[in-house]
């Protein structure tokens, strides 16, 4: 099942497989082409093609062949450019302005020789120049061609098959809810884009950073009145504490002033509208499984995790006699904590939902966003300070991914407005940039960054696991939205008001799915289950990771396959029953969801349907799928249920609905 906006694209690709192949070929070629390959997010696009394979939109082997062909042609063109122009390329744009692009590739080629053509396909910094460097260095065209073809054959499945696995997983996720599949895919895509941006922005700015700092220091010396506040931050010969304190105060004051003007200027219009639109979007997309994922990500930024990390890193630095680094570390987190509380108190902007007390009841700026941006950002600064320039982007990228995931979870859970998160991330980024720049100019690198990283990772994982084990249930209750109960007169529901209840399972953003709700069942859920048990129905086992292994079995029995839960309006079923008719090899299921409707007689009304299940096969998995017939299967619910009254009604869309209530209401 695909969302409406995506279906036309999938239909076009199905109808035009040749053009789909041409697009794959072009992307693969550009990803391997000189200079252009730096700008093309080839890994992301290949992941997307793999997902389309899993959805059955494009074919696996033809996609691999198109991708291999594009990679071969792209590298061949790049090699020919280097082989033909040789050293003349150094005088051409962009190499005339950025000679380090070729220099880095030459160093890589000298170090690895012919193997560099293979390695270059998988190593980002030199991918787009290695074939050209091979041509400049006079590599034999015959030898290059052999290596080019073999490496392309290895490259294509390496990048596409993970996408197939992701797509197959999303196909299973869409059986639960399309919104869940889209959210998982969107979160993965967002984090990959963040990683790609941080990596490329850092590589673009890093060569100019030292030059910019030296220019700033020269300016400070030429303007002593203002420079005396700036130069201590950059000049390692001057004490920096006073200037850092001044700039921290200025940053806090400017943040308060900006936020005050910002809020007053847009209180009635743009920002509130954007905040409320984003809030509504995420609330409409919420599902139970995604709630657990986002709550876990939010817990990653809770004080139960940040405080142990703060203490362990402080003790580690003290034990390693890195007292100045420890002082910077404490200063970084102290400012993040104080600035967050101060701005919350001064601005007093309410959260979207009243889920906290005290100062924490206020929204701007997001404490999770600010504190974790500073904490993980400065940890990245500490680790990167010891690394060579070629690998410094790695800790910054990991810090960005973690911080972005935490920030996204806060918006999803309704704990913050979008503006709270952006404000917190901006405040934290400015402070960690200022402090990190000063730290790198005044402090020596730590001795063993690998050991430091291992201690950090172990502390993070242990604290997070304990926090989830102890507090995840409580946090789930905190962030679960309450259902507003609507009361219906019992007799009016039976005679007329049944028409006002939802008629289809709600999937993505309040849009109905293709699954009609053909049951309206009023009564206690335990009594409903007992009645169905007496008619040969059994409660389906809860879905688990162990039962999901049956998806991989090529010949799993229909009755043994695990039933995935489904979401209606963001919530899973309160009851799933199944009935297997062995002589016909047919499997039926009844799914019931709690509705917000309660009758005047006290019974809650559950909504659901009966469906038949068959085994569906995807590229990697086999799983249960529902047939599209929701009417004829109604006959498998007994016509006479003991102690229950059944009424068959026909809706405007000609779908039949069974209304069921306790028999004592029968007149």
User: For residue 191, is pLDDT > 70?
Assistant: yes
Rounded (5°) CA angle 553-557-562: 75
* Residue 34: strand, helix, or coil: coil
Three-state SS for 401-467 is HHHHHHHHHHHHCCCCCHHHHHHHHHHHHHHHHHHHHHHHHHCCCCCCHHHHHHHHHHHHHHHHHHH
Assign 241 a pLDDT band (cuts: 50, 70, 90).
Answer: very low
Tens of pLDDT, residues 270-291: 667 777 777 777 776 677 777 8
Provide the pLDDT for residue 197. Answer: 77
Total residue length of the chain: 667
User: Are the C-beta atoms of 335 and 374 separated by less than 8 Å?
Assistant: yes
Q: For strands 519-522 and 604-617, give the pairing.
A: antiparallel
Q: Across-strand partners of 591?
A: 576, 609
CA 536 – CA 532 distance, rounded (Å): 7
Q: Which residues share a beta bridge with 504?
A: 516
125-171 pLDDT, tens digit per residue, is 566 677 887 778 778 888 888 888 888 888 887 877 776 666 655 55
Q: Look over the chain and give the mean of its residue pLDDT values, rounded to a whole number.
A: 75
What pLDDT score was predicted for residue 249? 53
Q: What local confidence, expressed as pLDDT, does residue 200 receive?
A: 66
Mean pLDDT across the stretch 611-618? 76
At 477, give phi and psi (nearest 5°).
-65, -35
pLDDT band at residue 635 using 50, 70 and 90 as cut-offs: confident
Instruction: Check: CB of residue 441 under 8 Å from CB of residue 233.
Output: yes
Q: Torsions phi, psi of 57, nearest 5?
A: -80, -40
Query: Could you tell me how far CA 23 lies from the centroid of its own chain?
Result: 26
Backbone dihedral region of 237: left (phi > 0), alpha (psi from -120 to 50 degrees) or beta?
alpha
DSSP 192-235: HHHHHHHHHHHHHHHHHHHHHHHHHHHHHHH-HHHHHHHHHHH-
Give the model's pLDDT for residue 512: 52
| pLDDT value for 513 | 57
Task: Compute the distance between CA of residue 81 and CA of residue 63 in angstroms, rounded to an integer.
Answer: 27
Local confidence band at 640 (pLDDT 50, 70, 90 cut-offs): low
pTM for this structure? 0.58
Specify which of 109-118, 253-262, 487-496, 566-575 reaches the highest per-range mean pLDDT.
Answer: 487-496
Lowest-confidence segment of 61-65, 92-96, 212-216, 543-547 by average pLDDT: 212-216
Q: Residue 9: its pLDDT value, please?
A: 56
According to the model, what pLDDT value does residue 246 have?
Answer: 46
pLDDT at site 4: 46
What is the 8-class DSSP label of residue 663?
G
pLDDT over 50 at 384, yes or no = yes
pLDDT band at 103 (very low <50, low <70, confident <90, very high): low
**Percent of residues in the chain assigned helix, strand, coil, to nearest 5:** 65, 10, 25
Query: 221-230, 278-287, 294-303, 325-334: which range is least confident on average?
Result: 221-230
pLDDT of 381 reads 82
Residue 424 phi, psi dihedral angles, 5° rounding: -65, -45
Distance CA 407, CA 652 (A): 45
Packed helices 270-285 and 178-222: angle between N→C axes, nearest 10 degrees: 140
What CA–CA distances, in Å, run from 635 to 28, 294, 642? 54, 41, 16
Return the number of other C-beta atoms located less than 10 Å from residue 224's C-beta.
9
Would you place residue 400 in the very low, low, confident or very high pLDDT band (cuts 50, 70, 90)?
Answer: confident
Residues 6+ apart with CB under 8 A from 542: none
pLDDT recorded at residue 178: 53
514 confidence band (pLDDT: 50, 70, 90): confident
Regarding predicted confidence, which is higher, 48 or 368? Answer: 368
pLDDT, average across residues 478-483:
76
Mean pLDDT of 177-198: 70
Closest CA to 32 of 156, 198, 195, 176: 156
Q: What is the DSSP letter of 375?
A: H
Q: Which residues, 6 or more positions from 487, have their beta carbon under 8 angstroms from its beta carbon?
A: 597, 598, 599, 600
Q: What is the mean pLDDT of residues 352-371?
A: 78
Is the predicted pLDDT of residue 602 greater than 80, yes or no?
yes
pLDDT tens digits along 403-424: 888 988 888 888 887 888 888 8
Q: Which of 36-40, 146-150, 219-223, 556-560 has the lowest mean pLDDT?
A: 219-223
| For range 511-540, the mean pLDDT | 83
pLDDT digits (tens, 9 = 90+) for 522-536: 888 888 888 888 888
Query: Which pairs from 341-346 meet CB under 8 Å and 24+ separation?
Result: 342/252, 342/256, 343/252, 343/255, 343/256, 343/259, 343/427, 346/256, 346/260
- Name, of 173-187, 236-250, 400-414, 506-520, the range with top average pLDDT: 400-414
Share of the chain above pLDDT 70, in %: 68
What 8-state DSSP symbol labels residue 564?
P
Q: What is the pLDDT of residue 547?
A: 60
More confident: 539 or 87: 539
pLDDT-derived band at 227, boundaries 50, 70, 90 = very low
Query: Residue 93: its pLDDT value, please?
Result: 72
pLDDT of res. 344: 78
Name every residue whose Cβ is closer than 8 Å to that of residue 642 and which is 6 or more positions away in sequence: 531, 534
What is the distance of C-alpha 430 from the center of its chain? 24
Residue 534, both tokens: 């007496």
Residue 585 has pLDDT above 80, yes or no: yes
């Amino acid at each position: 099942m695909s969302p409406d906006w995506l279906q036309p694209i999938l239909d076009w690709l199905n109808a035009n497989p040749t053009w789909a192949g041409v697009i794959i070929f072009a992307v693969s070629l550009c990803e391997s082409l000189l200079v252009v390959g730096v700008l093309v997010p080839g890994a992301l696009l290949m992941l997307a093609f793999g997902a389309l394979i899993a959805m059955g939109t494009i074919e696996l082997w033809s996609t691999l062949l198109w991708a291999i062909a594009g990679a071969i042609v792209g590298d061949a063109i790049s090699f020919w450019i280097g082989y033909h122009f040789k050293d003349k390329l150094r005088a051409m744009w962009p190499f005339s302005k950025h000679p380090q692009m070729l220099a880095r590739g030459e160093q890589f080629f000298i170090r690895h020789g012919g193997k560099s053509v293979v390695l270059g396909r998988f190593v980002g910094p030199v991918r787009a120049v290695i074939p050209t460097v091979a041509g400049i260095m006079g590599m034999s065209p015959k030898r290059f061609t052999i290596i080019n073809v073999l490496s392309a054959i290895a490259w294509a499945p390496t990048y596409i098959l993970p996408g197939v696995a992701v797509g197959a997983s999303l196909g299973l996720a869409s059986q639960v809810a399309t919104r869940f599949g889209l959210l998982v895919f969107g979160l993965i895509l967002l984090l990959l884009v963040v990683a790609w941006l941080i990596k490329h922005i850092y590589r673009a700015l890093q060569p100019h950073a030292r030059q910019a700092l030296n220019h700033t220091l020269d300016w400070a010396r030429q303007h002593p009145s203002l420079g005396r506040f700036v130069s201590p931050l950059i000049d390692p010969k001057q004490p920096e504490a006073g200037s850092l304190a001044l700039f921290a105060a200025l940053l806090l004051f400017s943040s308060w002033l900006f936020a005050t003007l910002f809020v007053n200027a847009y209180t009635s219009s743009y920002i509130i509208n954007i905040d409320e639109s984003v809030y509504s979007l995420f609330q409409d997309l919420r599902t139970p499984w995604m709630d657990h994922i986002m709550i876990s990500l939010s817990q990653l930024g809770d004080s139960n995790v940040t405080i142990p990390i703060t203490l362990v890193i402080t003790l580690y630095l003290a034990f390693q006699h890195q007292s100045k680094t420890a002082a910077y570390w404490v200063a970084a987190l102290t400012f993040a904590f104080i600035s967050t509380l101060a701005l919350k108190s001064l601005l007093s902007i309410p959260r979207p939902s009243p889920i906290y007390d005290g100062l924490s009841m206020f929204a701007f700026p997001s404490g999770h966003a600010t504190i974790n941006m500073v904490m993980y950002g400065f940890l990245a600064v500490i680790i990167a300070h010891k690394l060579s320039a070629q690998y410094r982007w790695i800790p910054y990228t990991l810090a960005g991914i973690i911080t972005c995931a935490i920030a996204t979870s806060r918006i999803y859970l309704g704990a913050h407005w979008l503006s709270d998160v952006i404000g917190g991330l901006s405040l934290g980024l400015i402070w960690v940039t200022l402090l990190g720049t000063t730290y790198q100019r005044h402090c020596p690198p730590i001795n063993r960054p690998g050991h430091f990283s291992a201690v950090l990772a172990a502390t993070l994982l242990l604290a997070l696991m304990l926090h989830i084990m102890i507090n995840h249930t409580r946090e789930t209750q905190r962030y679960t939205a309450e259902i507003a109960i609507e009361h219906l007169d019992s007799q009016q529901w039976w005679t007329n008001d049944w028409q006002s209840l939802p008629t289809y399972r709600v999937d993505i953003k309040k849009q109905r799915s293709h699954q009609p709700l053909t049951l309206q069942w009023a009564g206690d859920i335990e009594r409903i289950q007992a009645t169905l048990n007496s008619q040969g129905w059994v409660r389906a086992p809860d879905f688990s990771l162990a039962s999901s292994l049956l998806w991989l079995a090529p010949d799993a029995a229909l009755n043994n396959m695990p039933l995935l839960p489904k979401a209606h309006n963001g919530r899973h079923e309160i009851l799933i029953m199944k009935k297997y008719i062995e002589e016909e090899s047919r499997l039926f299921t009844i799914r019931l969801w709690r509705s917000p409707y309660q009758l005047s007689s006290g019974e809650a009304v559950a909504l659901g349907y009966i469906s038949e299940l068959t085994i569906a096969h995807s590229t990697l998995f086999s799983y249960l799928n529902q047939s599209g017939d929701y009417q004829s299967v109604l006959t498998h619910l007994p016509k006479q249920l003991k102690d229950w009254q059944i009424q068959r009604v026909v809706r405007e869309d000609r779908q039949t609905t069974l209304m069921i209530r306790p028999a004592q209401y029968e007149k």
